[in-house]
Amino acid sequence: MKSLHLVVTVIPLQILCSAAILARAAEEGTANRQTPERRYAEPSPIPDYILREGKPYKDQMRVIRPSVLPTEIPCERVQVGRRMGYKPNVQRLSTGELVMLNFHSHGETQGASDGSMSEHMVMHRSKDNGRSWTSTHVQGVYGREPYLNVFSGDVMLATGHVLSADVNNPTKKVTCVIHRSTDGGKTWKTQPILPEMLPFDDVTRTYSSRNIIELPDGTYMLGMSGFYGRDCIMLSKDQGRSWQAQKTTFGGYDMASYVYSAYQEGVLYRLPQGRLLLFARMTPRIMKFTREIKGLADFSKLGETDKHFDQYDAEIIFESKDDGVSWEPVCGIPLIGCMYPSVIPMGDGKHLMTFTKRVPGEGLRMGVYATVLSENPDGSFAIDLDKDLIVIDEKTDDAFQTGGGFGNTLTLDDGSLISVYSYYHADDDIAGLLKSDKFKEKNVYNYYRNRALGYNPTWVAGCSEQNYLRAGDRLQRHMFLGCCQLLNLCGPVTEVTRWEFPK
């Protein structure tokens, strides 16, 4: 997640919120909230999902506006781990074993009186193509949103970042970390990417692309940002043991005035014929574009309150013809809240893109979707979200206004697919309060807020009754769920889905 939109740490929901933004959003309230025009028909009612830890079950994935695809695609799902497993990512070792990483957040483990917290990696392994899993809390491997990369010789590199409030963060600023293992994940060594490693002045925090790719000469490459145009690539010629920085540039927008970077949470992807792409999570509503970008999502109908939430980002595809030294925009993906993509080749110039819809709207629930990208003769992509849109997961109720997603899709040896993701689950009474809007009542909110004070008083103090009652609808839901998650009454759940793309 982009960690600058918000400063008072909403640890449970992985949201960062400054008092100034909180107050401004509260003043605007719900009067300015607008819902983007719906692209699709209203979805069918969502059933009540139960937690089924470790028990595979058969299911159907629906297809929105099927054209060449069937209306439903059979699948098999299994929950991995208990509630609080957030944002998984899976890769395969040379042995065929699947390794999946996600992370847990803890506010209570440090006493929390000083506002500190901790986040750590959890590793899950499967030897039967994802049907069953074993899980391990990896000691000493800290940080959030680990993204696993596996290279020749089963060298494993996991990118992530550590929040300023994490007790394991020596800089007390948002810092990128790279965890490295050469023994199949039994042991790990951690390399923080410190500000002084970047070739810029005045860098105080670092943030990276999700994945690392291998260049044709065997060099590993990672996108890195020091914010406000301080963008570079980190290169390793010794399989990730050490890293050196090289400045890079992006065309199409004013880098220096953009607080974030195309590298932050970006996904690098090399097409089979060699083109190097970056699927970049961007915030167009605060960017200064220097040229028109084809296919960019339309943000004109967002209300002012919604503009304060980073879930309203969108994807822009960039291309580099010099192995990451410079990048130019190719096209946008026309969907607000589209992020966390993964892309795999399908042949004949087609690619399967899995992505997260981070906010409800345009007829889509929060969740994970898949669509086919087709290469155009001019190098751009045909992206048709109006038909044959595969719904991999949509369990997160709209009332929560926050979800999960994040996961990627892999092709297995038998040609089948495996997709991993997280969705948000709440106990029945908490879900009922959100669906009925009773959570907005002062006595209801204070009941849960006061109980949560003992687990993280620093954060909960920022969610005062006054701030809560002045906040808009979306922010109120985040604050209420944050308190409830500290009480373990709600939280993210990791799930794995096995399926086949229809022939």
Q: What is the pLDDT of residue 50?
A: 56
Average pLDDT score over residue span 192-221: 97
Q: What is the pLDDT of residue 24?
A: 34
- Report residue 51's pLDDT band, with 50, 70 and 90 as the boundaries: low
Q: What is the pLDDT of residue 140?
A: 83
Q: How far is CA 435 from CA 29, 55, 189, in A?
A: 19, 28, 45
Q: What is the pLDDT of residue 16?
A: 36
Q: Mind listing the pLDDT tens digit for each residue in 103-155?
A: 998 765 554 456 678 899 999 999 999 999 999 988 789 999 999 999 999 99
CA 489, 492, 498, 503 dihedral sign is positive
CA–CA gap between residue 362 and residue 37 (Å, rounded): 6
Is pTM beyond 0.75 here?
Answer: yes
For the cut 70, the answer to whether the pLDDT of residue 271 exceeds it is yes
CA–CA gap between residue 208 and residue 233 (Å, rounded): 9
- Report residue 457's pLDDT band, with 50, 70 and 90 as the boundaries: confident
Give the tokens for residue 223.
């996108």
Q: What is the pLDDT of residue 221?
A: 99
Q: What is the pLDDT of residue 37?
A: 42
Q: What is the pLDDT of residue 1?
A: 57
Contact by Cβ (8 Å): 84, 489: no
CA–CA gap between residue 227 and residue 256 (Å, rounded): 9
CA–CA gap between residue 139 and residue 368 (Å, rounded): 30
Q: What is the DSSP letter of 398?
A: G
Task: Give the three-class secondary structure for 420.
Answer: strand
CATH of domain 8-429+486-499: 2.120.10.10
CA–CA gap between residue 491 and residue 484 (Å, rounded): 9
* C-alpha atoms less than 13 angstroms from C-alpha of 455 in its C-beta half-sphere: 20
All residues at 6 or more sequence positions from 335 whose CB lies less than 8 Å from its CB, including other chains = 297, 314, 315, 357, 362, 385
Q: What is the pLDDT of residue 4?
A: 40
Amino acid letter, residue 491? G
Q: How far is CA 142 from CA 110, 135, 166, 266, 278, in A?
A: 14, 16, 9, 21, 26
Q: Mind listing the pLDDT tens digit for each residue in 291-301?
A: 999 999 888 87
For the cut 80, the answer to whether the pLDDT of residue 29 exceeds it is no
Total residue length of the chain? 503
CA–CA gap between residue 358 and residue 87 (Å, rounded): 12
Please state, for a pLDDT cut of 90, what percent of the chain lies above it: 73
Contact by Cβ (8 Å): 127, 175: no
For the cut 90, the answer to whether the pLDDT of residue 67 exceeds it is yes
Give the tokens for residue 492.
């993210």
Average pLDDT score over residue span 236-261: 98
Q: What is the mean pLDDT of the chain?
A: 88
Q: What is the pLDDT of residue 118?
A: 85
Average pLDDT score over residue span 359-371: 92
Q: What is the pLDDT of residue 191?
A: 95
Q: Mind listing the pLDDT tens digit for each residue in 370-409?
A: 999 999 999 999 999 999 999 999 999 999 987 778 889 9
For the cut 70, the answer to whether the pLDDT of residue 201 exceeds it is yes
For the cut 70, the answer to whether the pLDDT of residue 30 exceeds it is no
Task: Give the three-class secondary structure for 269.
Answer: strand
Q: Mind listing the pLDDT tens digit for each residue in 147-191?
A: 999 999 999 999 999 998 888 887 889 999 999 999 999 999 999
